[in-house]
Amino acid sequence: MKQHLRSGALGLLFATPVLFLLPALETGFAQSNPPICAINMKPPSVAVLDTQRNSITASIPIDKNPTAAVFEPNGRLLYVLHDGWSSSPNEPLGGLTRPKQASSLSIIDISAKTVVRKIPLGHGVTAIEMTEDGRHLVCLGNGKPGRGKPKSNTELGAITVLAAPTGQLVFSSANWRWVQQAIWTTDFSRIIVLGVREFANKNYAFVSIMGAHLLPRLQDIMLAGVRPSQHALSVLNGQGEILNQVDLPRWKGDPYAFLGMKMAFSKDENWLYLLDPGEPSNDASENRNAVVMVVDLRSGKLSASQEVGSSPSDLIVSPTSGNAAVLASKSPTDKQGHVFRIKGSEIIAPEIVVKKPRVLVSEADPGGFWAMGEEEIAFFPDWSGPANKPISLKSRDAAASGSELLTGDVQSSVSLPKKRRVAVTTSDHKLGVLNSSDNRLEHVVPIGRSGVRAAKKVGEAFSVPWPIVVGSYMVARRHPLQTQPAIVGPHEQFLYVLDTDSKAVTVVDLNKGSVVENVAVGSDCKGLVLTPDGKYICAVSRTKLTIFSTESNTKQVEYEYPPDAGHANAFGFVDEAGNIALLFDKSLRVWNIKQTKIEATIQGLSSAKLLACPRREKG
């Protein structure tokens, strides 16, 4: 599995209520009863918690302003980020806290109850992330905003990598004025960083691919630099020597125009697909079409480059064949959507599919994909053949007998590959289920609570307790789990959808096309999470916990937090059974999901905002 980090302080999402659909994310932890830690803010310390004895077993002083925390998989070392760019619960719409001082990392040995090492990271670290295999911790820093030559290397954007089980530094590279995103391969032999350089009031941006040259497996390092007049892809070996350099299409405009760029690996990780969104303009002299580039990761050379039209909506990679697809408009004035497919280094001629293109959705199995427009959707049964006839979402001819129509514009979707279906949500708060076998709209179901939705004021400010989404990365996560806006239940019969507008979760029977239940979950619930055993779905807000059973597909329990506890600041699973730790300013409470009760309460915390739970090893 590839991993991807984004940072930056642009493009806040969730500023307006919308419906989202995404596949469930796996979660896990190292032991049946692992230690968990709460990070206190005043005074700053790490509280080691024993949920079996309802006690704090240790309080470890740390530096001020902790903004994120993550365990290495064995649960022995805890990494705490200080002075990172973090979400601020006191700011409307989740404004960012940007410390003036450089960020740093504390490494804490939990068994020894002490900070064993402190590592400087430079300015503006927004992300610390464990790799999928748990071998490395990646720290991604923006750098200090500004123009001209930086006063020191700490003001540069940087990526720092540690050997997670030991805390030893693998490498630190500070070559950017601004870092926006990073992606790495499964074996961590390739790391790709997208960033900007600004020296002498000139804007520079580059992609670099670095081999983890201090690891036992020696790999080449590749560095791609972008100058005002050209992009250049440079190949470096493990000693940092440049082996090759290739010009790339020019980036034009302000230094942040590249923020919309997308990167993805082929399934075998031999190819990097890089999508430059371009700069669309109705003035032909000003228009710059989008470009897709293919880089051979074995040689570091640019293998192919192709203009793909205007305003590309998406870049996806097949989970089975490894081929890629790009959806874009033909031009700024022609909104006919066409799909380019990429096989290795070969970019195949486009096929016109839908009007006003929005997004591509890939099937996990057997391997087709959907191209979505605002008013119609086309299905590709495989990644090499043509698309089926587009399905109109607003035509009676395309709807199954008795089905309503989708009158709003398509917002999001999720693939249902077992029956080769896709579920889409629209701006008028409806869920549509489309079936590729007969190319029809099977069902249309209302989502959310219409009465509450109608009463909600447009532009209402949020009280943001959970992670703030910047670009597409959650900055300095406040809880150790990634939540999902929607989760598909077992056998693809039921779908759980969070409607942030009406503050409700709608349980939909996908086969019958009917609503099973609408459940209010709180105005600040940001997503759903599946328990490690897959038997329950949890919706956590600052004021209550709502749990659904995937066996009965109904609400199992609703727990409103007691007034003396206050609002929940974070949550996480403490074991494989799915028991949930709820963190409050002064206490932590553990909800037993099977016995439907609070089984542990630990008092004595002090302005606790962050929660760290070791993850379960994946076998």
For the segment 325-339, the average pLDDT, to the nearest whole number, is 92
In this prediction, residue 454 carries a pLDDT of 35
Task: Let me know: does 586 contact 606? Beta carbons within 8 Å.
Answer: yes
Residues 450-499: tens digit of each pLDDT: 544 333 322 222 222 333 222 222 223 333 456 778 888 888 899 998 88
Residue 568 has pLDDT above 60, yes or no: yes
Residue 7 has pLDDT above 50, yes or no: no
In this prediction, residue 476 carries a pLDDT of 30
- The C-alpha atoms of residue 90 and residue 346 are separated, in whole angstroms, by 50
- The C-alpha atoms of residue 425 and residue 410 are separated, in whole angstroms, by 6
Residue 152 has pLDDT above 90, yes or no: no
- Most confident range (mean pLDDT) of 256-270, 441-455, 511-525 is 511-525
Count of alpha carbons within 13 Å of 322, Cβ hemisphere only?
14
Start-to-end CA distance of the chain, whole Å, equals: 14
Residue 584 has pLDDT above 70, yes or no: yes
Which of the four pLDDT bands, split at 50, 70 and 90, describes residue 238? very low
Residues 267-319: tens digit of each pLDDT: 898 898 988 888 888 888 888 888 898 888 887 778 888 899 998 988 999 88
Q: What is the pairing mode between strands 544-549 and 391-392?
A: unpaired
Residue 164 has pLDDT above 50, yes or no: yes
Q: What is the token pair recorded at 563?
A: 């007034």
Which of the four pLDDT bands, split at 50, 70 and 90, describes residue 187? confident
Residue 239 has pLDDT above 60, yes or no: no
Complete DSSP assignment for 538-602: EEE-SSEEEEEETTTTEEEEEEEPPTTT----EEEE-STT--EEEE-SSEEEEEETTTTEEEEEE
In this prediction, residue 477 carries a pLDDT of 32
In this prediction, residue 10 carries a pLDDT of 27
- The C-alpha atoms of residue 60 and residue 42 are separated, in whole angstroms, by 13
Nearest to 372 by CA among 425, 445, 437: 425
Lookup result for tokens 């790999």 = 219
Q: What is the token pair recorded at 439?
A: 């190319």
In angstroms, what is the C-alpha Rg of the chain? 24
* CATH code given to domain 3-455: 2.130.10
In this prediction, residue 195 carries a pLDDT of 67
CA of residue 393 relative to chain centroid, distance: 29
In this prediction, residue 605 carries a pLDDT of 95
Residue 611 has pLDDT above 60, yes or no: yes
Domain boundaries, the chain: 3-455, 480-612
Task: Let me know: does 80 contact 106? Beta carbons within 8 Å.
Answer: yes
Residues 61-93: tens digit of each pLDDT: 999 999 889 999 888 999 999 988 765 444 333
Domain 3-455 matches domain 480-612 at the CATH topology level = yes
- The C-alpha atoms of residue 394 and residue 27 are separated, in whole angstroms, by 39
Residues 214-231: tens digit of each pLDDT: 333 323 333 333 333 334
- Exposed/middle/buried for 168, CB within 10 Å: 0-12, 13-18, 19+? exposed
Which residues does 401 contact at the CB level (< 8 Å), separation at least 6?
none
Nearest to 459 by CA among 11, 94, 15: 15
Q: What is the token pair recorded at 276?
A: 């430059």
Complete DSSP assignment for 223-274: EEEEETTEEEEEEE-TTS-EEEEEEEPPP-SSTTGGGG-EEEE-TTSSEEEE
* Percentage of residues in the chain having pLDDT higher than 90: 23
Which residues does 17 contact at the CB level (< 8 Å), separation at least 6?
456, 499, 500, 501
Backbone angles phi, psi at 454, to 5 degrees: -65, -30
CATH 3.40.50.2000 fits 480-612, yes or no: no
Residue 546 has pLDDT above 90, yes or no: yes
Q: What is the token pair recorded at 573?
A: 């699973």
Residues 112-147: tens digit of each pLDDT: 999 999 999 988 888 788 888 888 998 888 777 665
In this prediction, residue 587 carries a pLDDT of 96
- The C-alpha atoms of residue 314 and residue 358 are separated, in whole angstroms, by 7
Residue 329 has pLDDT above 70, yes or no: yes
In this prediction, residue 204 carries a pLDDT of 40
In this prediction, residue 147 carries a pLDDT of 58
- The C-alpha atoms of residue 488 and residue 416 are separated, in whole angstroms, by 8
In this prediction, residue 475 carries a pLDDT of 28
- The C-alpha atoms of residue 269 and residue 376 are separated, in whole angstroms, by 33
* Percentage of residues in the chain having pLDDT higher than 70: 72
Q: What is the token pair recorded at 613?
A: 């739970």
Q: What is the token pair recorded at 343?
A: 């096989």
For the segment 426-449, the average pLDDT, to the nearest whole number, is 82
332: region left, alpha or beta (phi > 0 left; psi from -120 to 50 alpha):
alpha
